[in-house]
Amino acid sequence: MINSIWNKTIPAGGKWSGTIGKGKLVKFTALGKGANLSTIMYHANQLTERYNMPDTLKAQHTSHLTKGHVLMSDNGRVLTSIVEDSLGWHDSISGYTSRKETDEKYGITTYQELRNNWLRSGEENFAVELVRNGLGVRDIVPVLNLFSKVFCDENGDMHYVEDHCQEGATVTLRTEMDTLFIFSNTPNPLDPRNEYPSVPIQIEVFNAEPVKDDDVCVNFRPENRRAFENTWEYHTLLSDSKSVVLK
Amino acid sequence: MAVLNYTESSRKVEEAIYDRVIPSGEGWMHELEPGQVLRIVDLEGNQAADTLFYHAEDPEDHYSAVATMLGQKNIYLSTGTVLRSESNKELLKIVADTCGRHDTLGGACSAQSNTVRYAHDTLPMHNCRDTFMLQLSKYDERYTKRDLAPNINFFMNVPVTSDGGLTFADGVSAPGRYVEVQSIVKTVALISNCPQLNNPCNAYNPTPVRVLIWDK
């Protein structure tokens, strides 16, 4: 077993932001059942480039995300790829909880009364971490909700699956670009339970092997390969690579 | 196929205070006062009107596809849908719809997403996100690419299946079908009349849409 180079556990309600350079594996483990980790990704070196839900879903003809899928930026590049997944379904259509929804669903809580048990919302966690990174609430885009399953029936009605995520469920992203992650361990807005989930999520980072020709994400669909080619082009132009010859 | 929600409007064309045609491939950005109604007409059928809305007095609070879907726990837009901002403010409401279903999951085409979806040599082609950015640059310097959130595709049919698929189906629109949205607060509408030439859903033939505005 290879040791992680970094790890962090985000408690229920917690948040974290930071840049993880390209070529890393980021493994998420649900330390309880019913977890949800709301996540937004930005290109760390060009923050106006960010995860784009519609581009990601339509290019891969999918409304759910699992192993083989890639998470694309609005510039047609791969920010991260899903290289391992024990669950088979992660959500990107149901957003994050607001302060108002949190109060309405779980009861009004205050710092004065509960100190650090004051319940947090996705809205406020994202606002704080966006501002910390020089961005703002205008930069919020549809999020990735790791560990959640939301499906649509034939009428388009959205359904949250309660028993989807079991304790110990894992999913691993591989960074294909230097990526600024913002994580908010706050409930999925469609989770019907009226008790605030108290599921910590462990994040471990490992060095990834170089992407090989038979890589599951590169070869998942022709669209994925072209998105990787756009990503490799970006890195070729940025680096002193010998493949770039100016005469 | 899910039920379609057809609702005709009683508004008369001759009473509109604004009436113009947006040719295919072109953009349009226009302010709507509270209470004003914008009708978008799919003149020749199965054309995508890629549309975004902003809170005019708080442009950073853009239309949110996710807040709109969550507000009704349904992914399709039709009569009765409240179009919400990222901060969950009610921006506009769909008050009439003779198409019956509109998409807000598929987003807008861009030069870069065209290279991914179709081929690298599509990069120079006209696309909605370029149209959006050109319109934003002309309208007001407060608007930038950061404000390009996922949009509405009026007249587009993007069915999602219960097993997690997503397809671009033949349109449910037809010549003359329209949708009307009534502004709840002062909003700014941004439309790209989609120039996509790689997708069979418009029969590879982008066509004009007509926009009309009534005071109520």
Residue B183 neighbours by CB distance under 10 Å: 23
As given in the structure block, the two tokens for residue A36 are: 């949800």
Query: What pLDDT, on a 0 to 100 scale, did the predictor assign at position A10?
Result: 98
Interface subset of A 206-235, CB within 8 angstroms of B: 223, 226-227, 229-230
Which of the residues B68, B109, B113 would you substitute to probe the A interface, choosing the one with the greatest number of A C-beta atoms within 10 Å? B113
Q: Do B116 and A93 touch (CB under 8 A)?
A: no
A127-174 pLDDT tens trace: 999 999 999 999 999 999 999 999 999 999 999 999 999 999 999 999
Whether residues A75 and B145 touch (CB distance < 8 A) is answered with no
Q: Inspect the interface and report whether the beta carbons of A62 and B165 lie closer than 8 Å.
A: yes
What is the C-alpha to C-alpha distance for residues B136 and B141, in angstroms, rounded to an integer? 7
Distance CA B191, CA A218 (A): 34
In three-state form (DSSP H/G/I as H, E/B as E, the rest C), the secondary structure along chain A is CCCCCEEEEECCCCEEEEEECCCEEEEEEECCCCCCEEEEEEECCCCCCEECHHHHHHHCCECCECCCCEEEECCCCEEEEEEEECCCCEECCCCCCCHHHHHHHHCCCCHHHHHHHCCCCHHHHHHHHHHHCCCCHHHCCCCEEECCCEEECCCCEEEECCCCCCCCCEEEEEECCCEEEEEECCCCCCCCCCCCCCCCEEEEEEECCCCCCCCCCCCCCHHHHHHHHHHHHHHHHHCCCCCCCCC
Cβ distance of A155 and B2 shorter than 8 Å: yes
**Contact residues, chain B, for A143 at CB < 8 Å:** 66
- Measured CA to CA, the distance from residue A122 to residue A106 in angstroms comes to 14
pLDDT tens figures, A72-118: 999 999 999 999 999 999 999 999 999 999 999 999 999 999 999 99
CA dihedral in degrees (A195, A121, A11, A181; nearest 10)?
Answer: 140
Residues A163-180 pLDDT 10s: 999 999 999 999 999 999
- Whether A131 and chain B come into contact, CB under 8 Å, resolves to no
> Taking a C-beta distance cutoff of 8 angstroms, is the pair A211, A175 a contact?
no
Q: Tokens 């979806």 correspond to what residue?
A: B117
Cβ contacts below 8 Å, chain A against chain B, sum to: 138
Q: Report which of A128, A173, A139 is spatially closest to residue A17, judged by C-alpha positions.
A: A128
Whether A27 contacts A206, CB under 8 Å = yes
Q: How many residues does chain B have?
A: 216
pLDDT < 70 positions in chain B: 1-3
Closest-CA residue of B relative to A47 is B146
- pTM, whole model, 2 decimals? 0.96
φ, ψ (nearest 5 deg) of residue A82: -95, 105
* Cβ atoms within 10 Å, residue A113: 9
Collapsing DSSP states into helix, strand and coil, what is residue B44? coil
**A89 contact B CB<8A:** yes
A227–B116 CB contact, under 8 Å: yes
Q: Which residues 30-59 of B are in CB contact (within 8 Å) with A? A: none
A118, A124 contact by CB (below 8 A): no
The predicted-structure confidence for A194-235, as pLDDT tens digits, reads as follows 999 889 999 999 999 999 999 999 999 999 999 999 999 999
Cβ of residue A84 closer than 8 Å to a chain B Cβ: no
Spell out which residues of chain A touch residue B116, defining contact as CB-CB under 8 Å.
Answer: 55, 59, 72, 76, 223, 226-227, 230
| Chain A contact for B66 (CB, 8 A cutoff) | yes
Shortest distance, CA A6 to any CA of chain B (angstroms): 31
How much is the ipTM here? 0.96
Tokens of A1: 């077993």
Tell me which of B4, B116, B122, B145 to substitute to probe the interface with A (most A C-beta atoms closer than 10 Å).
B116
Q: Which of A234, A90, A211 is nearest to A150 (CA)?
A: A90
Tens-place pLDDT, residues B47-77: 999 999 999 999 999 999 999 999 999 999 9
